[in-house]
Every structure is written in structure tokens, then in C-alpha cells.
């Protein structure tokens, strides 16, 4: 005989049906995803071409302000471009012609003095118990076997060097083409952007040009200054191969923080051959200069050019080096400046900020200029509309600079 169900069991509701979550991708979404994957794969394969394109844009951003200055003086654009590129190529050629032969000769001298420099380094390391094992390893270091095993690496490096030189040459010609055919290329780019965003887009492009040009010019200034300082210092101290050591220091100055160590060590070791007093003087002078450069010169040059406070400059350099190594450190400053600029130009409302009267006035100014732009560009092609957008953006920038100058 079956037991009858209890009242609680008979009154309990039936179990709820299990919900099944279904995710269906529309054909359009799948097509876009496939196109994005294909685009990323193509960019990876065409990475050298992308670098060449970026290098050309960097050259344009660096030289275009000089061309614009000559145009304001009444010179035609093509003539200004010819003068600027001709002067840049001539200066670079003369610099290489005057420095490469003595540089090669001094590098040979450094290679010939390698046993002497290594002996001084071994003697200095033996003075401490902590570094004495390193002294024995340095003394017994065999370069012959390493050089024989690195022939393939040298050939590969030579091949890459020629590829880099070819890409740089192509970038120069590409930048020249960009500047000569500026109006048509700019019109083609603006044709891909909605008309309502042309003014903001033009302001972003102008600010990016300022950021890139300021970064490159700032790097040239810092590298040139440290090269001149090392050259004068070593010549005064009568250290051999001063030009080679100074050129090496100027190149290494591109690397933040690490470049200082790579600059000081060879110079001090070379100066040690003239005596410990000379080496101490060179070491002290370079340490003082590196301190001056890191605490005063870099924030001053890059901070003004990139419109960043010194604290942001230092933090960006450290963050870039930690995240991306050498490449990250090199790109940290323009990337930080670009992020700050985009937040400002796109009028992004940050969570902790409250809209100020100045922000309201800025938004009204944007609306007025957008209406003006629509009226002036009605039924005009993209190339002419782009020129008008850039003109309005430059006028806006000039208006924003005048109150700062007055203050």
C-alpha cells in the first residue's frame, strides 16, 4: 500500500525550469571580428612599413613648423619646403662628413687601448673584496672565442643596419611627399571623418604635431648638449678619443636613466688612463651634469614642449620604462602628452570634476565655431573644408595663447 503524500509535499511548487543563456552573434558582428583579426595580422606583417609611415609623420611634425614660419614671412610653400629639407640634408651630410672619419679613427684607437682600459678596470675592481671576483673574470675574459662565435650575429646586425638606413631614406622621401601634397592628402583624410567632428579632429592633429615636434626637438637639444659637454670636458682633461666617447654619450642620452650609466662608464674608464685624479674629475662632472639634466633640463625642455608638469614627465618616464622597456621609455612622454591632450580636446568629463564656468564658456565657443564652420563649408569639397577647419583651429589656438601671454 502506497503512502499518501504529506500536505507540505503536495503543496510545494514544481521546480522552476532551468534557464539557458544563448549568445547569438549576428553575421555582421562576425564579419567585423574577422576583419579586425585580419587587419591586426596584416599590421604585424607590415610592421616595418608602419614604422616607416610613423617616422615620416614624425619628420613632418618636426619640420612643418619651420615651413609654416617661412610661409608667414611671405615665401611660397614649395620654396619653403625645398629650403627646409635642403638645409636639413646638407647639415646632416656635413655633420656626418666631418665626424665619421675621425670617429672611426678614434674607435680604432679605443679598440687598440682595450687591454690598457681593461687593466685599469681590473685594478680598480681588485681594491674591494666584493668586486675582486669580477676582476678575475674580467682579466681572463677571452674575446677571440666570442668574436668567432658571433660572426653570424654581426652579419645579421649589418643586414638590419642596412634595412634601417633604407627605411629612414624612404621615410624622408615619404615625409617630403606628405608636405608637398598636403592639401590633397588632408582632404582625403577629412573625407573619412564626419563633418560635425572636423573642428575637433583638426585641433587634435595640430596638437599632435606640436607634441611630436616638441619631443623630437627636445631630444635633439638634450643629446646635443650632453655631446658638447662630454667633448669639452674630455678635451680639457686631455682624454684620448674624446669625439668617439662624446658621440656615444649623445646617442645613449636617448635612453632615460639607463643612458646615464652607459655614458659615464666608458668616459671614466678612458680617463683613468690619464690618472685617477682625472678619472675622478670626469666622474664628478658627469654625475653633476646628469643630475642637472634629469632634474632641471629634461622637465624644462620636455615639460614646456609637451605641456606637461615636471612630476608627470618623471612619472611617465618611469612607467614607460617599466611597462615597455627602452621603447616604452622613448614613447612615454609623447603618449602621456597625447592622452592629456585628448582628454582636454574631446571635453571628457572626469568622474571627480565638476563643470566650471570656464568649461561652459568653452563648450559654447565650440558650438559657435561649429555653426560657423557649417556655414562656411556648405556644399564645399572635403579638401577646402579641411583647410577651413585647420584655419579656424589655428585661430582658436592663437586666441587661447594671447590670454596666457597677457597673464
Domain ranges of the chain: 46-141+151-180, 196-348+382-389
Least confident interval from 156-160, 338-342, 359-363? 156-160
Give burial (CB, 10 Å; 0-12/13-18/19+) of 395.
Answer: exposed
Q: Kindly state the DSSP code that residue 381 receives in the 8-state scheme.
A: -
Give burial (CB, 10 Å; 0-12/13-18/19+) of 305.
Answer: buried
Give burial (CB, 10 Å; 0-12/13-18/19+) of 137.
Answer: exposed
Residue 388 above 60 pLDDT?
yes
Residue 46 above 70 pLDDT?
yes
Whole-angstrom distance, CA of residue 184 vs CA of residue 189: 9
Residues across the chain: 407
The residue among 149 and 344 whose pLDDT is bigger is 344
Least confident interval from 34-43, 243-252, 333-342, 345-354? 345-354
End-to-end Cα separation, the chain, in angstroms: 101
Residue 280 above 80 pLDDT?
yes
pLDDT of 137: 67
pLDDT of 64: 83
Residue 67 above 80 pLDDT?
yes
Residue 5 above 60 pLDDT?
no
pLDDT of 113: 66
* Residue carrying C-alpha cell 636613466: 257
Q: Which of 87, 61, 83, 85 is nearest to 70 (CA)?
A: 83
Whole-angstrom distance, CA of residue 303 vs CA of residue 292: 15
The string of pLDDT tens digits covering residues 170-186 is: 888 888 888 888 888 88
* In contact, 70 and 92? CB cutoff 8 Å: no
* Mean pLDDT of the 358-378 span: 79
Contacts of 322 (CB under 8 A, 6+ apart): 328
Q: Which pTM does this prediction carry?
A: 0.64
Band of residue 63 on the pLDDT scale cut at 50, 70, 90: confident
* In contact, 174 and 52? CB cutoff 8 Å: yes
Q: Spell out the alpha helix ranges (H) of 113-191.
A: 114-125, 132-139, 143-149, 151-180, 182-190
Least confident interval from 109-118, 212-221, 273-282? 109-118
pLDDT of 150: 46
pLDDT of 25: 63
Put residue 55 in one of left, alpha, beta given phi > 0 → left and psi -120 to 50 → alpha.
Answer: alpha
Residue 124, CB half-sphere, CA atoms under 13 Å: how many? 15
Q: Kindly state the DSSP code that residue 215 receives in the 8-state scheme.
A: H
Band of residue 85 on the pLDDT scale cut at 50, 70, 90: confident
* In contact, 198 and 374? CB cutoff 8 Å: no
Residue 155 above 70 pLDDT?
no
Residue 107 above 50 pLDDT?
yes
Whole-angstrom distance, CA of residue 68 vs CA of residue 54: 21
Band of residue 147 on the pLDDT scale cut at 50, 70, 90: very low
The string of pLDDT tens digits covering residues 91-102 is: 888 877 777 777
* Residue carrying C-alpha cell 674607435: 107
Band of residue 406 on the pLDDT scale cut at 50, 70, 90: very low
The residue among 229 and 161 whose pLDDT is bigger is 229
pLDDT of 151: 47
Most confident residue range from 50-59, 128-137, 300-309, 340-349: 50-59
- What are the backbone dihedrals phi and psi of residue 239, each rounded to the nearest 5 degrees, phi first? -90, 130
pLDDT of 325: 63
pLDDT of 303: 58
Percent pLDDT > 90 in the chain is 1
Q: Which of 312, 292, 313, 291 is nearest to 302 (CA)?
A: 313
Number of other residues whose CB lies within 10 A of the CB of residue 140:
8
* Mean pLDDT of the 38-67 span: 79
Q: Which of 289, 257, 247, 282 is nearest to 268 (CA)?
A: 282
Whole-angstrom distance, CA of residue 3 vs CA of residue 294: 89
Amino acid at each position: 500500500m502506497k503512502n499518501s503524500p504529506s500536505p507540505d509535499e503536495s503543496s510545494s511548487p514544481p521546480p522552476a525550469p532551468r534557464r539557458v543563456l544563448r549568445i547569438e552573434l549576428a553575421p555582421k558582428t562576425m564579419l567585423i571580428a574577422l576583419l579586425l583579426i585580419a587587419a591586426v595580422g596584416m599590421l604585424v606583417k607590415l610592421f616595418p612599413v608602419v614604422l616607416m609611415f610613423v617616422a615620416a609623420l614624425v619628420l613632418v611634425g618636426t619640420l612643418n613648423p619651420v615651413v609654416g614660419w617661412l610661409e608667414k614671412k611671405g615665401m611660397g610653400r614649395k620654396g619653403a619646403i625645398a629650403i627646409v629639407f635642403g638645409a636639413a640634408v646638407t647639415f646632416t651630410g656635413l655633420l656626418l662628413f666631418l665626424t665619421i672619419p675621425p670617429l672611426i679613427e678614434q674607435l680604432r684607437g679605443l679598440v687598440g687601448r682595450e687591454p690598457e682600459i681593461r687593466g685599469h678596470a681590473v685594478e680598480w675592481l681588485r681594491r674591494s673584496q666584493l668586486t675582486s671576483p669580477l676582476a678575475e673574470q674580467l682579466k681572463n675574459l677571452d674575446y677571440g672565442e666570442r668574436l668567432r662565435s658571433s660572426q653570424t650575429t654581426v652579419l645579421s646586425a649589418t643586414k638590419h643596419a642596412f634595412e634601417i638606413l633604407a627605411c629612414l631614406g624612404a621615410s624622408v622621401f615619404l615625409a617630403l611627399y606628405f608636405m608637398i601634397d598636403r592639401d590633397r592628402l588632408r582632404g582625403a583624410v577629412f573625407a573619412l571623418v564626419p563633418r560635425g567632428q572636423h573642428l575637433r579632429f583638426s585641433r587634435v592633429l595640430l596638437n599632435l604635431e606640436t607634441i611630436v615636434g616638441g619631443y623630437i626637438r627636445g631630444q635633439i637639444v638634450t643629446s646635443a648638449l650632453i655631446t658638447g659637454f662630454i667633448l669639452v670636458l674630455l678635451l680639457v682633461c686631455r682624454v684620448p678619443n674624446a669625439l668617439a666617447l662624446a658621440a656615444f654619450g649623445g646617442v645613449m642620452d636617448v635612453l632615460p636613466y639607463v643612458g646615464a650609466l652607459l655614458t659615464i662608464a666608458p668616459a671614466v674608464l678612458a680617463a683613468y688612463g690619464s690618472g685617477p685624479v682625472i678619472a675622478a674629475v670626469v666622474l664628478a662632472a658627469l654625475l653633476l651634469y646628469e643630475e642637472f639634466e634629469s632634474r632641471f633640463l629634461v622637465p624644462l625642455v620636455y615639460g614646456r614642449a609637451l605641456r606637461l608638469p615636471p612630476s608627470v614627465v618623471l612619472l611617465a618616464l618611469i612607467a614607460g620604462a617599466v611597462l615597455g622597456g627602452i621603447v616604452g621609455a622613448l614613447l612615454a612622454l609623447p603618449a602621456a602628452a597625447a592622452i592629456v591632450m585628448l582628454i582636454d580636446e574631446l571635453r571628457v568629463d572626469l568622474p571627480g570634476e565638476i563643470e566650471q564656468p570656464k568649461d561652459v564658456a568653452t563648450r559654447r565657443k565650440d558650438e559657435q565655431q561649429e555653426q560657423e564652420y557649417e556655414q562656411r563649408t556648405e556644399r564645399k569639397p572635403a579638401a577646402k573644408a579641411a583647410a577651413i577647419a585647420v584655419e579656424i583651429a589655428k585661430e582658436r589656438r592663437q586666441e587661447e595663447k594671447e590670454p596666457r601671454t597677457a597673464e
